[in-house]
Amino acid sequence: MLPPIRDYDELCRQFRWQIPARYNIGVDACDKWAAEDPARVAIFVQGAKGLEPVTYGTLRGQSNRLANALTAHGFARGDRVAILLPQTPETAVTHLAVYKLGAVAVPIAALFGIDALSYRLENSGARAVVTNAAGLTKVAQIRDALPELQLVLSIDGADDDTLDFHETLARASDEFTPAGTTPDDPALMIYTSGTTGAPKGALHGHRVLPGHLPGVELPHEFLPQPGDRMWTPADWAWAGGLLDVLLPALSLGVPVVAKKFEKFDPEEAFALMAGAGVRNTFIPPTALRMLRGAGRPKHKLALRTLGSGGESLGVETYEWGRSVLGLTINEFYGQTECNLVLSSCAAIGVSRPGAIGKPVPGHEVAVIRDDGTLCKPGELGQIAVKRPDPVMFLEYWKRPDATRDKFIGDWMTTGDQGVADDDGYIRFVGRDDDVITSAGYRIGPGEIEDCLLRHPAVALAAAVGKPDELRTEIVKAFVVLKPGNAPSPALAKEIQDFVKTKLSAHEYPREVAFIDEMPMTTTGKVIRRLLRERA
């Protein structure tokens, strides 16, 4: 979607949205390529036999069969279909089928427990679930409490209350006429990660895919280029996996590598990227820090671009990318409600350590005050996106109050504190609730955490505010140590002095707690709310 211009300012001036009056994600991400060349590879599945290709022709036929099967079971436009699967071809097939039907896909992370799964299925009113054996075990425990759930399909075989996914498709026709949807018709509902409260269902229209394209093309330096091939360790149920990688890549004709990871493993990730010939990858900051902690990769990588977002990347990880991987990590920013609106692009000189980038062409993003007026450069405020915007959500499901409260005039607020500089770069400071108020100072956790990671004993770190009578709050650090390091008062003091020397006296952690594991969402974000409660 981006024009072939390699100057940021000119790119923004020349950019125009190109979204037709009739648009369907399933057609754009699959059928258009299948019509042109059904043998074109859409997905490479990393399995026991190596890389196994899945073509656009296969995706088209399978998704058409599923759309027909759902229709035969009484499903129609607007019905919610939950997808509880890891990175598998069936995940892509189900998404495409639901979009073609005009129904609404509800992706749910495979790692969710019973309570989280039950909440999303009940809240969304999902009438069907497509899952595997592991998901089926969870669904079976709560199915009686979900009266709206009528159909369960399993890719691992049938039982008394479940239909076999593949057998069901085999009985259906591979010809289907996609619904004539508009860009604003509901297509997808992704639940927020719940870092600050109960998850909310962010409902998106079909326009969410073309709305993402500029924000994918920019950090991946004008994707697609010859030989490009994408992979992410992020679950395809998360906006980062689905809308930053899978659907945009399919739309752009770039093959996606799929691999089921039970748990992120740095060595396995390096081996996969090398063996599968990955050229473009999205890796969240926490996973990048784990890669950094694993030492120099033992495999020869062919990476052309590496994008990161979801949390603050930090200067330390940014510099590691340059020195060890030999490329600049392009940091980007967005939310489930309005994703990929800020980005870096080193190829055209848009890159600054510690900044999450500049507005992606087509999006109006600013740092605003509580009254909706623009902050001056250097002034702390809230990052906001102006409507209308094709990547912006339609509403919070069943939450008109929360939808209304999300806006100040035409500005969609993000709940994220940031600072813009004179050159238009925006620096992420932290969530509203994450910013620490200590002795009159407003302190963002990102800079402290970045500094903590420079200490040779620290593997992961998070900084939160702890209530304090004298200072309002003090900075408390939670630290996961690297192997070979043992917690001790002496090490805590050493870490405190390290930060005090590197940053300033008002920012250093007055308390350091050593923990075995960092609490994180399934998207790889630290749940600071839990750490604040612990503090």
Tokens matching residue 464:
């939160």
Name, in order, each residue with C-beta under 8 angstroms of 29's C-beta and a sequence gap of 6 or more.
96, 99, 209, 247, 250, 251
- Collect contacts of 142-149 with beta carbons under 8 A, ≥24 apart: 142/114, 142/117, 142/118, 145/118, 146/118, 146/121, 146/122, 149/121
Does a structural domain hold residue 195? yes
Specify the length of the chain in residues: 535
Residues 365-374: what's their mean pLDDT? 97
Q: pLDDT at position 314, please?
A: 83
Instruction: Count CA atoms closer than 13 A to 226's CA, side-chain side.
Output: 0
Statement: residue 446 has pLDDT above 90: no
CA-CA distance, 398 to 124, in Å (whole number)?
9
Does a structural domain hold residue 465? yes
**pTM given for the model:** 0.86
Does a structural domain hold residue 336? no
Does a structural domain hold residue 511? yes
Average pLDDT over all residues of the chain = 93
Statement: residue 521 has pLDDT above 80: no
**Under 8 Å between Cβ of 289 and 317:** yes
Q: Which of 165-169, 274-278, 434-438 is least confident?
A: 434-438
Statement: residue 119 has pLDDT above 70: yes
Q: Which of 116-120, 327-331, 348-352, 476-480 is least confident?
A: 116-120
Higher pLDDT, 122 or 470: 122
Q: pLDDT at position 473, please?
A: 85
CA-CA distance, 351 to 219, in Å (whole number)?
10
Does a structural domain hold residue 97? yes
Q: pLDDT at position 522, please?
A: 65
Q: pLDDT at position 440, please?
A: 63
Residues 289-299: what's their mean pLDDT? 88
From residue 76, alpha-carbon distances to 70, 97, 105, 112, 330 in Å are 8, 12, 12, 27, 40
Residues 307-334: what's their mean pLDDT? 92
Does a structural domain hold residue 331? no
Q: List pLDDT tens digits, range 381-394.
A: 999 999 999 999 99
Q: Helix, strand, or coil here: 332?
A: strand
Q: How confident is the model at residue 442 (pLDDT cuts 50, 70, 90)?
A: low
Q: pLDDT at position 506, please?
A: 74
Statement: residue 348 has pLDDT above 60: yes
Query: Domain of 36: which CATH number?
Result: 3.40.50.12780
Q: How confident is the model at residue 193 (pLDDT cuts 50, 70, 90)?
A: low
Last residue in a domain, options 172, 206, 240: 206
Residues 416-440: what's their mean pLDDT? 85
CA-CA distance, 488 to 27, in Å (whole number)?
58
Q: Which of 225-234, 322-331, 438-447 is least confident?
A: 438-447
Statement: residue 430 has pLDDT above 80: no
Last residue in a domain, options 175, 206, 237: 206
Q: pLDDT at position 197, please?
A: 57
Q: How confident is the model at residue 176 (pLDDT cuts 50, 70, 90)?
A: very high
Last residue in a domain, options 185, 206, 227: 206
Q: pLDDT at position 441, please?
A: 65
DSSP string, 148-163: T--EEEETT--BTTBE
Q: Which of 308-317, 385-394, 498-507 is least confident?
A: 498-507
Q: List pLDDT tens digits, range 243-290.
A: 999 999 999 999 999 998 878 899 999 999 999 999 999 998 888 988
Strands 201-205 and 395-396 turn out to be antiparallel
CA-CA distance, 206 to 250, in Å (whole number)?
15
Does a structural domain hold residue 223? no
Name, in order, each residue with C-beta under 8 angstroms of 57's C-beta and a sequence gap of 6 or more.
34, 38, 39, 40
Statement: residue 196 has pLDDT above 70: no
Looking at residue 482, the DSSP 8-state letter turns out to be: P
Higher pLDDT, 30 or 264: 30
Does a structural domain hold residue 416? no
**Terminal Cα-to-Cα distance of the chain (whole angstroms):** 47
Query: Domain of 512: which CATH number?
Result: 3.30.300.30
Q: pLDDT at position 507, please?
A: 81
Q: pLDDT at position 293, please?
A: 85
Tokens matching residue 149:
């759930």
Q: Where do the H-state alpha helices sit in 410-461? A: 445-453
Q: How many domains does the chain have?
A: 2
Q: How confident is the model at residue 523 (pLDDT cuts 50, 70, 90)?
A: low
Q: How confident is the model at residue 75 (pLDDT cuts 50, 70, 90)?
A: very high
| Structural domain for 454, as ranges | 434-534
